[in-house]
Every structure is written in C-alpha cells, then in structure tokens.
Structure 1
C-alpha cells in the first residue's frame, strides 16, 4: 500500500447515499429541491458556438475554450488565467500537485475545510492550523508560523463565508494577511465556492485580488453539483503549469457545454438570487432552533453565507462519546470538530442546506434529547458519588469513634 493510501485511510470515503438513510448534519450538500428552479439546458445545444464534433470529443487540458472565455468574462480575467476542472476538489488536487512535495508546510486556519485538509495531507504536506477571530486568521500566529516555517509553500483560506464557520475576513485583515504573505513569498489559495451566496442584502465579501491569489470556484453551490465543473483563476504561468499536471483528456466537453449554456441562457444570476433567499430561510430556521437548545453554547456566530453553523458543544459533553451515541441508535451523524483542526475538538458543524426543514427539526430534537439524557446520567452518577463519599466519611467517623472508646476502656 502506498504512503498516500495509508494516509487516506484516516478519512472516510465520500458517501452521498448515506445521507438518505440518516439525519446527516456533516455534509454541506445543496438542497435538491432547488435543482428544478434552474431550467435544464440541452447538452448538445450549438447556440454557444461549440460544434457537435467538439462537444462529443476530448477537449484541452485547460478546458473547453468557449467556457473558459465566458468564465473569464464573469471573473474579470483573461481566458489565459482560467482552467476548467472536475469540480473544486480536482482544482485543489492540481494545486497541491503543483506546489507541494512530501514534508512541505501548508498554512491555514483552525478550523478549516475538511476536504482541503484531506487533499493537502494525502499530498504529504504538514498542515499548520492557526487561530481565528471574528476578522479572520490571527496575524500574530500567521507571522510566527511564517518565521518558524520559512519554507511554507502555500496559505489556504476561504475568505468569503469561511468553511465551516460562515464568516468573512475583514478588509483590514485581508490587506494585512496579503502583505505579510507577500513579504515571505507564500502564495494564497482562496476557495470561493460560496462567495456568490451572501445571505444579507448588500453584503460584498472581501476577496484577495486575482493577481495576488490562486482562486478556486465551482458550479456545485450555485447550480448543480452533478455537473462536476469547477475552475481555477490564476496567473497564466500558473495555469500553464497546472495544465501539465492534468492527466485526463480534459473535463467532459458535454458537461462543459451544459455549464456554458447555463451561462448564456441568462438565468443563472436570477437563480443565485433565489438560492440566497432559500438558504437564508433555512439558516434562520436552524438559528431559531438552536436558541432553545442546551447541547451547544449560546455564543456562536450566525453564518453570513455558506451552508453550516459552527457551534461549541456544552462543556459536560464528551465529543467522542456524544457523537457516537448520536450515530447509534439516534441515527444522527455529525462530523467531529477535531477533523477540522486540533483546537476544534469541542465543536461540531451543523449543515442546514441539504435536508428539508422537518428533517432538520427532528435531528436537532434528537441531539437535544441525547444531551438532556447525558446530563441526567451525569447528575445521577454525581449523586451516587456523593452518597459513596458520605458513606465512606461516616464509616471513617464510626471507626475513629470505636478506636477512641477502645483506648478509653483499656
């Protein structure tokens, strides 16, 4: 077994089918009820200028040229700065292949996106996770890490609706982070898959500029994840470097043409507006449910975007035992916070995007019931301990009294 295979064994395989049998708060999947809202397009449509021969053929490593042009226009860059990938995950894998050797250091926040942590770890990197506050990564820790690891190869972040917390980096912090990393020559990889889904009107999340970062985007959250179409925006030299690492015959021209047709049909922007309202309602419903719960601490951040809440479990709950108890027999699945970062063991990610409201309510109710049962058990054990302690104290008192009486008689 290869070293990469041994490392990958630490993680679970992606199992979408399991979400149909259990109440799974661990996966940030789009709501399938939103899929019909975006009108289907003809995969063989020739309206975007792609010939049928090209639709049914292999395509360039950098992707279908017509789609690259449209995405370049949408992202405000040139086609030479765009590469089509099989989703955001392949984009991150290619970036890891381009920048990392085994033993290299990757810097990111704690917590961070589990999928990225997995990709960088399997690539053999040493991932160093840094603390965060409400504005983003802690500058003091970033500066210290850059000094301690002068050969750090990249800094990975989700500045717009951080995964899993749903928060945004502040403009001031973004400038400071960019300047600090530039002084040390460390490239920024920014994951922007949620960046078009702010839940508050007028909110414009801060992004690192295109000339200062490698950006990863995807259709998965704004259209249909089944397309498996993502893209990278970077400087032309980096795009050319990434293309040499792509070992397939290009992302399917058929699905690329579907993505192109979605862009040309003019309905995608309206669909994104619909998604913002749809997911905002689901976020607000989960927030209302959590306000009446005791299994998590009340001081959590309301996500500004993204698909999840990041909450800290009540202090009396042991995360490993509690989550296992939820899985069996409650049928509720949560991803342990420790997977997202070494400081996050007491946290859990609660995804609200995929399940219908009734299922979410049922799941939260089961979690809360398990918490109350745990508290009652803890109190019962505490009373038992107190009774045992009192009995032992009474026994010692009687013993000392008896000894004293015996000495008096003698």
Structure 2
C-alpha cells in the first residue's frame, strides 16, 4: 500500500471535472462544464497566428519563467487600461492558465491554518486550491450585487483576520452575479485597513453583454492581485493565464513557478500575443462572442420560464452561467442521473457549497451549446424533472 499525503486527502474532487466524461457522450447536451462554445473559438485565426509564431525559432524554445516580454507588455497595457492606472510589465506573471496562478498564489501566501474568505457558493477550483494549502475557509454570502462586503466588514470589526479574500467579481462562477461598484470600492478599502490581500479572479470580465466591463477592484486599491485568462476570450487550449499585483508577490510567484513548470509554452504565448495585438480583430471577435452568448442566455432563460416555471433562474448580464433554484424538497444531486438519462447535464449546487448544502440549486452553462441546442437542453431537463 502506498501512503499519500494528508494534503491530498484534504482536497475534495471536482464534480465538474468528473462530469466531463459523462457529458462528453454524443447523446448528451451539456450545461455542466464552464466551456466556451466550440463554434465561437477562433480556430482559423489561431492557425494563422501559429504560422507566424512558428516562423520564429524561439517560439519552440524555453522562455522566461515570468513570460515572454512581448506578451507581458501587451497584458500590462491591457490591465493598465482596465484599472485606470499604469501597471508595469514587471508586475505581470504569465501562467499556464489562471488556475495555476491561483495555485501559485496560495503556495506563496498561505500557511496551514490561515484564514481565507471565499464566496458561498464558491468557484470549485478555488476551493480545491485553498484546501490543498490547508487554509481555514470562511464563507461569505452572495446576493444580486455580488459578495456581501457589508457582512465581511462586520466580521472584520469583531476580529476576523483573513490572509486572503477571494472573489470572482464579474459574472460569478457559479452564481452569475457581478459585484456592484460601491462594494468593490469598499472591499479595496477594507484590504487597506486590515492588511489582507484580495484575489480578484476575473476570467469573464470582458464578456459583458453590453460591452462595458466593470471597473476592477484593483482600480480602488493596491492590495489586490488580479487573475486573468485567455481561456474564455480566446481558447482554453492555449493555457495562457496571468496575474498582476504587488511586486513582492509577483517575484515570489515567479520563483515558485520555476519549480512548477519552468515556463509557460512559448508557442501558445506567441500565438496569444499575436491575437491580442491585432486589436481590430480582437475587438470584433469579442463583439461576436458577446452577441452569441447573450442570445444563448436569452434562449436559456426564456426556455426555463416556459418549461420550468416552478424554477427560479438568474438573469445573466454577461459571462457564461445561470443559477437555478428548484422548489423546496428537490434534490438536484439525485436529479442529475435522471437528467443524464434524458440526455442533458448540469452541475448540482452542492458542488459549490462551502457552508449551506444548497440541495435545491444547480449551475447551468448556457455558453457551451449552439443556440439551436439550448432550448432542447432545457426541454430535456424539464422532462427529467417530471420523470
């Protein structure tokens, strides 16, 4: 028998990743994984950028641990524009997806037993990272305006002292809500007052249906580490993410990344640089993605209202997710096998629960399916409910 570490034992599995095998069946329409629509991924443009990159020999060589200089310059300019203040390129670290950035941050900043504030329900990938770090999770509720920063303020006033506060501030995964601007300002102020760091996980911020991303939390204070990703705005397979934050944090993350993977792929970084630098193309691409996902969101919410009138459904204004609340007494974990038998997948709310079990809730990703399949997916879910 092989003895595994206690750290491994503390990490619960991801119901979403486990579901991918089942929902990959050709007979299943999946509302489960947070996958961008395959039909919206710019494969031809990526192929063109790959050809350009491969003409340069260094694109298939090792690169700097912190990322290619050209990409870091582009990302620094992007983050400077988003935050409304200059962010130098040496405050950018390129990672193998933003999930790696989150993992490296946890290893840099947390010791076992440190308190980490998370939203409840929470992003599963964040829960796994913080559990692996041995953190003591402290859940905060959400409402239609995002994290209840007022509740955080009350708990800080009576002695709560977190090392980190993690938030998916825009188009939350799984709830789909966006933190209101006054709460963003207050969260940054609380970080300054009490000395914790905010980790602003922002893979969906550019996917606002109206094309107007919210002002980041990082625009209001210096104790914020921002995470970004090319996965939802370009393609997941590029595996390009990034973080920006205080110089000390970036330097520590870079050192730990040296022992994690040496460097992110030079080839995919070169491709990403080419795509982001082509601003006319990138703006048009984002417009197309926003328009398509907005249409899919409307189709999804309309179908839920018609076919599942007993279910409460969130109204998305961007991103990829809707949050469903079924009537009292429903067990969405028990419903899932029936749904799969009817050819549709979703993620039960329990997968995201930190404190309350959320037995009547479910997360659905409307972005993955072509518009023509979205209504059919809801129809199959409705059929499963009455089966």
Cα separation, 1, equivalents of 2:104 and 2:238:
19
2: CA distance, partners of 1:231 / 1:338: 29
Match of 1:117 in 2: 127
Deviation at 1:309, TM superposition (A): 0.4
**Alignment partner, residue 237 of structure 1:** 248
Match of 1:310 in 2: 323
The match for 2:350 is: 338
Partner of 2:39: 33
Given that 1:38 and 1:268 are in contact with CA atoms closer than 8 Å, whether structure 2 keeps it comes out as no
Residues 1:172 and 2:193 are matched in the alignment: no
Q: Which runs of 5+ in 1 are unaligned?
A: 374-410
Cα distance change, pair 10–233 in 1 and its aligned pair in 2 (3 A): same
Which structure 2 residue ranges, 5 or more long, are not aligned?
A: 81-86
Rounded Cα–Cα distance in structure 2 between residues aligned with 1:140 and 1:261? 42
Offset at residue 37 of structure 1 (A): 6.9
Provide the rounded CA distance (Å) in 1 between the counterparts of 2:329 and 2:161: 41
Indicate the residue corresponding to 1:251 in structure 2.
264
Partner of 2:50: 43
| Separation (CA, whole Å) in 1 of partners of 2:100 and 2:150 | 32
SS in 2 for 1:14: helix
Compute the TM-score of the two structures, normalised by the length of structure 1.
0.83
Larger Rg: 1
Structure 1 window deviating more from structure 2 (288-297 vs 226-235): it is: 288-297
Q: 1:18 to 1:326 in 2, by over 3 A?
A: closer
Contact 2:229–2:242 under 8 Å retained in 1: yes
Does the aligned pair in 2 maintain the 1:98–1:241 contact within 8 Å? yes
Question: Which of 58, 71, 77 is 1:73 aligned to?
Answer: 77
Cα distance between partner residues in 2 of 1:11 and 1:39: 32
Residue from 165, 168, 190 that aligns with 2:200: 190
2-side partners of 1:51 and 1:238: how far apart? 35
Equivalent residue for 1:205, pick from 202, 207, 214 = 214
CA-to-partner distance for each residue in 1:305-331, whole Å, 9 max, x for gaps? Answer: 11010111122322332223323x324
2:100 maps to which residue? 90
CA RMSD of aligned residues (A): 2.2
Task: Describe the superposition over 1:81-131 as per-residue Cα deviations: whole angstroms up to 9, x where unpaired.
Answer: 100000111111111111112222210211121211122112221222111
Q: Is the 8 A contact 1:317 1:371 kept in 2?
A: no
The answer to whether the aligner puts 1:2 opposite 2:16 as a matched pair is: no
